[in-house]
Amino acid sequence: MVNALLIESPGGVLPCLETLILGTCPEVNISRKADSLADVYHQLREMQPELMFVDIDNLKEGEIELFDNFIAADFEVIFVTTTVDYALKAIKYGASGYIIKPVNKDELVFAVNHAVQKIKRKEEQARNKHLLNQLIQHHVHDRIIGIPTLEGFEFLHIDEIIRCEGLQKCTRIITIEKTDMISSYNLGEFCRLLEPHGFFSPHKSHLINLKYIRKYNREGSIIMHNGTYVPVSKRRKKDFLNQFIHF
């Protein structure tokens, strides 16, 4: 059951919309109604709606400033409006859909079904992410790490990884098999997983396996087992030397 919220000024179209929802969308539960966006804005964390219906035509000037925050939230939004211009704006800002007044039953069912499918996909993605994180954490204790890629997950023994290199929001993994892979995890996530297992970050964009260091140059660079150079930042040079001495 999808937890829904209806927002509209008194005397508007949403009472009729509520009746239609109850009669045509059994998967939607209208748990709360409000007269304005401002009335519930600071209560959304407690209410935790999954779907919101908003009559955009009746938004007041002060409420329009809240518009972007609502669209960026975790819940889905369906706008009810009299003009196509408002509807297109709603889609531009990421709304699940819109309904043109007067409300048509088929359009309502289509918009609600689209929003419900998006909600279900997000729930499934959240469950999968939780399960995969549990799987990764379990394998790390066996020195095996699950690396999320565009195709799925690849599992490597930690000793196969020579180094990791940050690429904006992704990470490049360099292995002893001389095959690189790109992971959707950022470098910070790999630092968290691998530093307890003999890895060190000598630079904000690099994480290295200490067992594969071939040479350290005093000017501030490391040569790895595969011949690649990794920089050592000035502020991490002392920590690196201490780490390497005690490794």
For the chain, give the number of residues. Answer: 247
What DSSP letter does each residue of 118-148 carry, written as one string? HHHHHHHHHHHHHHHHHHHHHHHTTTEEEEE
pLDDT digits (tens, 9 = 90+) for 43-89: 776 777 888 888 777 666 555 555 555 555 578 888 888 877 766 76
pTM: 0.51
Whole-number Å distance between alpha carbons of 180 and 240: 25
pLDDT in tens, 19-34: 888 888 988 988 888 7
Look up the CATH number of domain 2-127. Answer: 3.40.50.2300
- The token duo for 137 is 């954490």
Structural fold of domain 142-245: OB fold (Dihydrolipoamide Acetyltransferase, E2P) (2.40.50)
* Domain spans of the chain, in order of start: 2-127, 142-245
Q: Do domains 2-127 and 142-245 have the same CATH topology?
A: no
